[in-house]
Structure formats: structure tokens, C-alpha cells
Structure 1
Amino acid sequence: MNANWARRSGREDRLAKRAAGPVVNPCPPGQRGGAYKPLSPEELEQIFDTALRLLETLGMGEVPDRLRADLMKAGAVEGERDRLRFPRKMVERAIADAAKTFVLHGRDESRSIEVGGDRVYFGTGGAAVQTLDIDTGLYRPSTLADLHDFTRLQDTLANVSWFTRCCVATDVEDSFDLDLNTAYALCRHTTKPTATSFTLAQHVTPIVEMLDIVAGGPGEFSKRPFKKAHISPVISPLRYGEDAVDVVYECIRHNIPMSCITAAQAGATAPATLAGFLAQSLAETLASLVMVNAIQPGFPMVFSNWPLVVDLRTGAFSGGSGETAVLNAASAQLSNWLGLPSGVACSMTDAKAIDAQYGMEKGITSFAAAMAGGNLIYESSGMTASLLGASFEAFVLDDEMHSHTYRALRGIEVTEDNLGFDAICEAVLGSGHFLGGTHTFAAMERDYFYPSLADRNQPRTWTEMGAKDAWTMARERAKSVLETHHPAYLTEEQDRAIRAKFKVLI
């Protein structure tokens, strides 16, 4: 009787634990990548060597005067047609001097992440000008209110490790108002690490003044920056963009970490061959690295080499292709091989609806980038319609997809206990199955991820529960969050101080 009671009591305890869910997330962000290597060691060397030859032979065009002076001091030499050439040793020195890891701070320190090594984190990016309306299911111009809502929604999603504005507020015409209100929305609605962009260099200082209010006083933001900048200082093929270069100087002055993004397009602004594309794109991202380290050696920069693909039949951007998957995986492999904090792009589906095309394209591109070890995987949440659109439902679905990817990255732990010799013997000589066994329950809590959106019910149960598809499930979840999650991450005093000094539009 006592033995039966003990078994029953143990079963009840196990069922209670199961109902409560895993004590520890079995697949949190920051899993280790790098198992997928699309390039051989010899191919890595060939691509790198070609990139160095391009910088040494062609160099960079349209170099702004201030940057020209700094690059010349760092070892650049004059080339033909007013171009500036980078000797091989100069580039190698920049790689050696570059920051290999650094912390992306959240305002909540528990949400900070370390970038570099082989840790993988999914986050956001993009500048969608359209939003998939959560009520109509149709696209409309993105608004500032949408940005606030997207920020609130992602604040609840565990696998968005940092948040970059995913849409452009098309209802804000003035570029400074747009930059400031974008930064404000991110401060108001999340304490994760965030990222934004600056249209012009003169926008940086006043926005830092606003960030100082959030951080606790003048100069405080720069001591522990919780926002990084997305900048594209190189325009393909192989030239600098003056406005973006000016922003780089201002961000370094204010100690704002940056992602220097190269976004060439195969067959348009870079070679159509994948190897040629990688060589040029690597050269261009190295030109950003050389620039940053010529200004301030070791300044934190994400080596954001984002290979983009166009459909060569039409010229349309193709974000969900197999070529996109392998190119971004190869980019991550190249960056990690150089020991640099890597940034790549994925999940840029061309699908407009939340449908089979959407799932297939997001799945193959995000999984490839993660398996290759991309440290920061941009565009990975919420983006649709070849980056023209952003979707609330997509954010929710992508978050669950990333958990599956992290679980795959975690791999298989082979230990004496996990091999289960004793458990196998007990099952074979006893009940003949593993259901309800201690070994099984331990693995259930520790080793498995259980989705909350993906439906694993039998067809009859699914029908009885309303026969809901993934789009419907995600819409319900997103609406619930938007109705209930209204975080107050700015104090009333901070908000008043910001609004007294700046034009806050919401």
C-alpha cells in the first residue's frame, strides 16, 4: 500500500511539473553555431586573397577628405582615378586590431548579450515601408504607431535578442523627427539592446542627449551604450558614401557601437557568380573595418557582410532563395574564420502572406545562417514581402521557429546517463516501454522544446478546436500581447524631460 501510494504520489508530482512547463528553457538564445561550413579551407583562403587583391589593386572610390587623411595615416596609398588603395598589410593590421568580442548592452543588464565567438543570436533589422495589417490581412503604409506596437510585441519574445526598428514611419516626413521618434519608441517599450539608424551626422548628438536623459544624466549613455547604430558606409561596388561616413565619425565620438553593413546584390552591384560576389562583398566590408580602425583602433563593430540576391530574370530582390541561404552562411563562415563579430541576414521571405512559401523560405535561410555560426542574424523576425513588409503575426511565428533552430544548434549531449544503458535494461526486463520512466521524465524537462503555436493534435481534435491555421493562431497571440503588454520603461520624469526638449509625436 505504501509502495503504491509512493508511486502515485511521484506520478502526481511529475504531472504537476509537466503542467508547469520546463524549469529551464532547453534551447535559449546564444547556442553555439559553426557546424555548417559551405566553404573549404582552401576556398576561404582564395576568397580572402581575392578580397585583399581588390583592395590593394582597385581600392575604394569617393573617399571623403577627412576619411582620406585618416586612411593615408594608416597606410593607404593613392591610386588611379582618385581612388585610395589599401596595401595587404594595412588590411591585415586592421583585422588584428579589431574588436573580437564586445557587449551589446540592454538597459536591463540581464538582457545584454556578448557578440563574437561562435554564439548565435537572432534579432531584427529592416526598414519596411508597409505593415501587414493585423485586422484586414492586407498591406498598408507603415506608421509610427506600428513601430511602437512592434516594439511592445517583440519585448515579450525571448528569441529576439536585440531590436532594430523593423519598419519606417512613413507618416513622419522630417528626417530628424523620424530618427528621434524611432529612437524614442525603442527606449519607451523595451529594455533589450536596441539599434537604430541616423539619416545625417548632425542627428546623432541631439539623440544622444535624449538617450542621456534615459541613462540618468549628461554623458551617461556613452559610458554604457544600450543602442547601436546601423550604418552602410560602403556603396557597392567599392566606394564610400559620404553621409554615412560622417555618421560613423559621430558614432565613434559618442561611443556608439555600430554594425557597418555591406548589402551588395548579386548580378546588380556585385558579380552574379557566388564566389565572385563573396570576394567583392568581403572586400567592401573589410573597407568598413579598415575605416573604423583607422579612426579608432579596436572600436566595437559588427562585421555585417550581408549578401543579397536578385532574381536575374526580373531584377526583383529575392530574400528567400537557396542562394541567399548559402551566401549568408558562407559570409558568417568567412567572418568567423577571420575572428570578427559576424552579422548576416536571413528570414527575408518574399512571401506576402503567412503561408507555405513564407515558412519554407524563412526556415531554410535562418537555419543555414545559424548553423554556420552567424553571431547576429538580422532581419530574422517579422519581415515579409522581400523586406518591404513587416508583420505582427510573423514576429510571433518566427520566435517559435528560432526556438527549434536553437534546439538543433544545441545538438546531442553524449554522457553516461544520457546513453541510458540502465534505463534500457529496466525497460527490456520490466514494462517493455519507456513511458513514465524516471529517465524519460528527466529528458522531457531538459532536452525537448514544446511549441505553443505549432499544432500537434490529431485531425479530429484540430477540427473540434476550430481548425485554426498558423496565421490565425499567431494573430490571436499577437493581438493578446498588444492588448495587455504596455511596459513603462521610461519614468514620468524622464518622459517629461524628453518631451520638453524634443518633438515626440506619440
Structure 2
Amino acid sequence: MALRAAGPMLDPCPPGQIGGSYKPLTEAEIQRIHGTALDLLERLGMAEVPPRLHADLLAAGALDNGAGRMLFPPALVQAAVDQAAKTFVLHGRDPDRSIEVGGNRVYFGTGGAAVQTLDMESGLYRPSTLADLHDFTRLQDTLANVSWFTRCCVATDVPDNFDLDVNTVYALLKNTTKPIATSFTLAGHVAPIVRMLDIAAGGPGEFSRRPFLKAHISPVISPMRYGEDAVDVVYACIDHNIPMSCITAAQAGATAPATLAGFLAQSLAETLASLVMVHAIQPGFPMVFSNWPLVVDLRTGSFSGGSGETALLNAASAQLSNWLGLPSGVACSMSDAKAVDAQYGMEKGITSLAAALAGGNLIYESSGMTASLLGASFEGFVLDDEMHSNTYRALRGIEVTEENLGFDAVCEAVLGAGHFLGNQQTHAAMERDYFYPSLADRDAPRTWAENGAQDAWSRARDRARTILRDHRPAYLTPEQDRQIRAQFNIL
């Protein structure tokens, strides 16, 4: 009891557990989807290719069909896959918070561009602000299962796009030393922001030597065309050694086929087109193969982030990416619920667990996202962190060893005390093998009532308020902050 009161002696379910046991696609199905994706790239190709990329693709082996489309022979696609970075480090400013992306390890993190925040006082949504972004960054800095932080909300009170990009990165630098990620509205914003990153890193050129920020870019617009502004950002990021998540975000029945197999084929083709683009610019540059299948409710056109189809498609996407041997990124745990309620828990649980079991290396949107990505919730962040611990425990699996099988322990209990409560094997397993939640309620109904009959939303709200009250990091030195403020409009 004294040991328990002092806190867990070890974490039985840390991030980076092994995934890949859930395989929604057979090998033959993977081959057919991959073959169709290659056919799409070879026979249909990509449209709206910016001139600079057009020249680089031609030099790499792509073909111009003379009708405004670039065709990618299978040999070019295979070369891009073969030479792609299979693993790379997402650095944190604190080296102990760095993670290695790729292989079969699973990490939960964030993403999203919520324009509304679920207010903790009113329980209703309001426009997201820059202050919210600072608070979300501070909050997640304490959460062990957010392995990297991408801004989860847009500061709608910052109207200028350059100021928005600058202040978004500043909020991340000030409030966390985890690996961070952001997006750039325009390519011209990259170089100035790198100057700010250099200040935080210790001087000119220091960020590029050990980049602790990655870029979220969507260079492909479904169906099957490039977006010029995003392609320009890709070039700028490669120039400054900023790793990238190149995100394909097709929507089933809208910008991609409604059939799940057809959707996967087109989405795979489009994400491969991003990889070929990177390969043509700089072979092997670090890129997360971020094939994010998104689902719409075909009755209404509304986005559906918490559906069973979302769970299935993202698990299949992770399986396809891992089959190619590429660092995989998928998007799960983004409930359509507006409140922190039963729908919220159900949708987040099934989608995040499916993606993790399938082996998605980086699972985006997995913390705090509500209202079909329109909203972000402080309470959601702390609840999701506990959910991720349970998911990691499921991934860790069962260690079958001679000692764990416990033949001697069974004999001792049967012939002795008649139970296992005082057994040394029980004491050893208590911390090593079991996760003990701090938010989920396991009390008897009477005890729960005597303690105020709180629901999960209320308990999570109390926890979030405590963290935001007490955790006020200052990861920029006063001199670094002064230098940044002298060069940028920090709001």
C-alpha cells in the first residue's frame, strides 16, 4: 500500500508499443489495391503540376502525356519507395522526448485545425483563440501519451496569415519541448520561421542540424492533382531540412470512390504521388507517408470521423503503408460527438484501437478532437491520454514465459493460503503488468455516490483545470524570447 501511495514504480504501457496484429486486408487484396494504384499513376497520372516540379519529375523519369497530365511509370514509383527514408527521428528539443518513426512502433499524437474550442466553463463551443493554443500546448506537455504536438486549433483571432503561422510556432516553442509540427500557409513563411527556430535551437543553422519541428503539408488535392502553394512549401521545407508529413485527405464518395477498395486504391496512388514528388526533389528525404482516409455521411455530406468505416479504412491504410515499408501516418480518434459523452468514448475507442492494432506509426488527431474536427476539448485531451494507455497495454500483449506461467505459484496457492493476494508473483506483476487509471471510476456505486457522483467529463474538467493552473513552463530563455519578439509580431 505504501508503494502504491508513492505512485507507480514503472509505466506498464509506455508509447512505442508494437502494432500490426490487425490485418483487415489479405495479401492478395493488398496486391490488387497496390496494382490499381500503380495503374492510376501510370495511365491516368497527376494534373496541375507546377512548372518547377514538372521539370524535376521529368528528370526523375516521369512522362508528360501531352494532355496536361504527368504519368509515373511503375519503375519510378518503385524507385521512390526503395530510396525513401524507412525510419527517422522526430527530435524533441529535449532529446529524451525524441521518437523514432517507422518500423512497427505506434505513437499517438495530435493534428487538426479546429476553429472552435469546447469551453470548460459553459460546456459550449466558441471560436478558438491564440490563448487556447497556448493552453492546449501547456496541457499536453504534461501528458505522456501525446508523443508529438501539432497545433490542434487555429487561432481565429489572428487574421494575418503570416502572424498566424509565426504565433502558432511561438506557442509551441514556449510551452513544450516535445517534437512539434505545424503548417505553413505559404512557402515564403518558411525561412523567417526557421530564423525563429534557430533562436530556440541556439543560433543560426542549429535547427537544420537537428530539426525538432516537422511540417504538415497536403501537396496532392483529390482527385489526382497537385496544389501549387503546397508544392512550393514542400520545396521550402526540403531547403531547410524540415521533415514532412505529406497528407492525402480524400473523402469517400466526394473526392474519392465511395467503395472502400476503390477509395484505398486512389488514396494510395495519391500518397505515392507525394512520395514520387519528394523523391524527384531529394531522394530519401524524411517523409511520413500520411494516407488519411476520411469518410463523409453520404446522406448529408457531413464529415464522419468516428465511424466504423473510418476505423477500418485507416487500419487498412496503415497496413498498406507498412507493407510498403514506409513510415505510416493515419488519422483516428476524432469523434463526431460535440459533448464528452458515450458517443465520444465509443467513437474514439474503436477508431484509435483499430489504427494502433494495425500498426500505424503516427496516429494523428488522436487527442482532444471533437465535433468532426471542428472542435477541440481540454477535457478530451486528458481523457484520451488515459485511453491511449489502455490501448498501449493491449498492444503490449501477454508475455508467456516459464516464470509468468506460474506453475509453482499455483501449487503454492492451492496447497497453502488458497489465494494469490500475498504471493510474491502477484506483487511483482501488480506494477509490471497492470495499468491503473486515474480518471476512469472503479468504485462501487455507493462510494461513487458518496464522492459526488461525478461523470468522466467532470473529472476530466477538474484535472485539466489543475494542470492549466499549475503547469506554466518557460522553455524559451528570457534572451531567446527577447530576440524572437524583436524580429516578429508576437501577440
Question: What range describes the TM-score normalised by the shorter chain of this pair?
Answer: over 0.9
Alignment pair present for 1:163 and 2:158: no
Q: Could you say what secondary structure the match of 2:215 adopts?
A: strand
Is 1:267–1:312's contact at 8 Å kept on the other side of the alignment? yes
Alignment pair present for 1:467 and 2:448: no
Q: Could you say what secondary structure the match of 1:431 adopts?
A: coil
Give 1:23 deviation, angstroms. Answer: 1.3
Matched letter for residue 485 of structure 2: R
1:412-459 deviations in Å (ceiling 9; x for gaps): 000011000000000000111111211111110100000000000000
Q: State which drifts further: 105-114 or 73-82.
A: 73-82
Is 1:325–1:368's contact at 8 Å kept on the other side of the alignment? yes
Q: Write out aligned runs for 1:52-71 (5 A).
A: 52-71=38-57
Measured in 1, the distance between the counterparts of 2:155 and 2:97 equals: 26
1:344-391 deviations in Å (ceiling 9; x for gaps): 000111000000000000000000000000000000001000000000
Q: Could you say what secondary structure the match of 2:46 adopts?
A: coil
Q: Could you say what secondary structure the match of 1:140 adopts?
A: strand
Q: Could you say what secondary structure the match of 1:330 adopts?
A: helix
Give 1:20 deviation, angstroms. Answer: 1.9
Among 16, 20, 32, the alignment partner of 1:46 is 32
Among 290, 296, 308, the alignment partner of 2:276 is 290
Q: Write out aligned runs for 1:375-386 (5 A).
A: 375-386=361-372
Is 1:191–1:489's contact at 8 Å kept on the other side of the alignment? yes
1:253 is matched with: 239
Matched letter for residue 232 of structure 2: D
1:227 is matched with: 213
1:172-202 deviations in Å (ceiling 9; x for gaps): 0000000000000000000000000000000
Is 1:21–1:445's contact at 8 Å kept on the other side of the alignment? no
Among 114, 119, 127, the alignment partner of 1:128 is 114
Alignment pair present for 1:99 and 2:82: no
Gaps of 5+ in 1: 1-14
Alignment pair present for 1:480 and 2:463: no
Q: Write out aligned runs for 1:7-18 (5 A).
A: 15-18=1-4
2:196 is matched with: 210
Measured in 2, the distance between the counterparts of 1:338 and 1:417 equals: 38
CA RMSD of aligned residues (A): 0.5
Matched letter for residue 311 of structure 1: D
Give 1:81 deviation, angstroms. Answer: 2.4
Among 243, 246, 262, the alignment partner of 2:229 is 243
Alignment pair present for 1:37 and 2:41: no
Measured in 2, the distance between the counterparts of 1:79 and 1:106 equals: 44
Among 173, 177, 185, the alignment partner of 2:171 is 185
2:441 is matched with: 455
Matched letter for residue 456 of structure 2: A
Measured in 1, the distance between the counterparts of 2:31 and 2:83 equals: 20
Matched letter for residue 258 of structure 1: M
Is 1:29–1:161's contact at 8 Å kept on the other side of the alignment? yes
Alignment pair present for 1:429 and 2:418: no
Is 1:30–1:121's contact at 8 Å kept on the other side of the alignment? yes
Among 176, 184, 187, the alignment partner of 2:162 is 176
Give 1:79 deviation, angstroms. Answer: 1.6
Measured in 2, the distance between the counterparts of 1:465 and 1:418 equals: 37
Measured in 2, the distance between the counterparts of 1:382 and 1:450 equals: 21
2:346 is matched with: 360
Q: Could you say what secondary structure the match of 2:126 adopts?
A: strand
2:384 is matched with: 398
Matched letter for residue 371 of structure 2: A
Measured in 1, the distance between the counterparts of 2:84 and 2:45 equals: 20
Measured in 1, the distance between the counterparts of 2:114 and 2:488 equals: 25
2:296 is matched with: 310
1:499 is matched with: 485
Among 101, 123, 126, the alignment partner of 1:140 is 126
Matched letter for residue 59 of structure 1: G
* TM-score normalized with structure 1 length: 0.97
Matched letter for residue 243 of structure 1: D
Is 1:22–1:446's contact at 8 Å kept on the other side of the alignment? no
Alignment pair present for 1:85 and 2:56: no
Measured in 2, the distance between the counterparts of 1:21 and 1:450 equals: 10
Matched letter for residue 446 of structure 1: R
Matched letter for residue 490 of structure 2: V
* Corresponding pairs, count: 491
1:346 is matched with: 332
Q: Write out aligned runs for 1:267-286 (5 A).
A: 267-286=253-272
Give 1:18 deviation, angstroms. Answer: 2.2
Give 1:19 deviation, angstroms. Answer: 2.0
Measured in 2, the distance between the counterparts of 1:473 and 1:139 equals: 19
Among 343, 356, 370, the alignment partner of 1:370 is 356
Q: Could you say what secondary structure the match of 1:168 adopts?
A: coil
Q: Could you say what secondary structure the match of 2:86 adopts?
A: coil
Measured in 2, the distance between the counterparts of 1:478 and 1:224 equals: 32
Give 1:161 deviation, angstroms. Answer: 0.1
Measured in 2, the distance between the counterparts of 1:34 and 1:452 equals: 28
Is 1:58–1:79's contact at 8 Å kept on the other side of the alignment? no
Among 51, 71, 76, the alignment partner of 2:62 is 76
Give 1:80 deviation, angstroms. Answer: 4.9
Alignment pair present for 1:441 and 2:457: no
1:195 is matched with: 181
Measured in 2, the distance between the counterparts of 1:103 and 1:44 equals: 28
Measured in 1, the distance between the counterparts of 2:261 and 2:87 equals: 27
Measured in 2, the distance between the counterparts of 1:432 and 1:317 equals: 56
Q: Could you say what secondary structure the match of 2:283 adopts?
A: coil
Q: Write out aligned runs for 1:108-123 (5 A).
A: 108-123=94-109
Q: Could you say what secondary structure the match of 2:334 adopts?
A: coil
Measured in 2, the distance between the counterparts of 1:140 and 1:363 equals: 26
Measured in 1, the distance between the counterparts of 2:193 and 2:476 equals: 16
Measured in 2, the distance between the counterparts of 1:330 and 1:43 equals: 10
Gaps of 5+ in 2: none
Larger radius of gyration: 1
1:387 is matched with: 373
Give 1:22 deviation, angstroms. Answer: 2.4
Measured in 1, the distance between the counterparts of 2:405 and 2:161 equals: 60
Q: State which drifts further: 75-84 or 379-388.
A: 75-84
Q: Could you say what secondary structure the match of 2:67 adopts?
A: helix
Measured in 1, the distance between the counterparts of 2:188 and 2:363 equals: 29
Q: Could you say what secondary structure the match of 1:81 adopts?
A: coil
Matched letter for residue 26 of structure 1: P
Measured in 1, the distance between the counterparts of 2:328 and 2:300 equals: 31
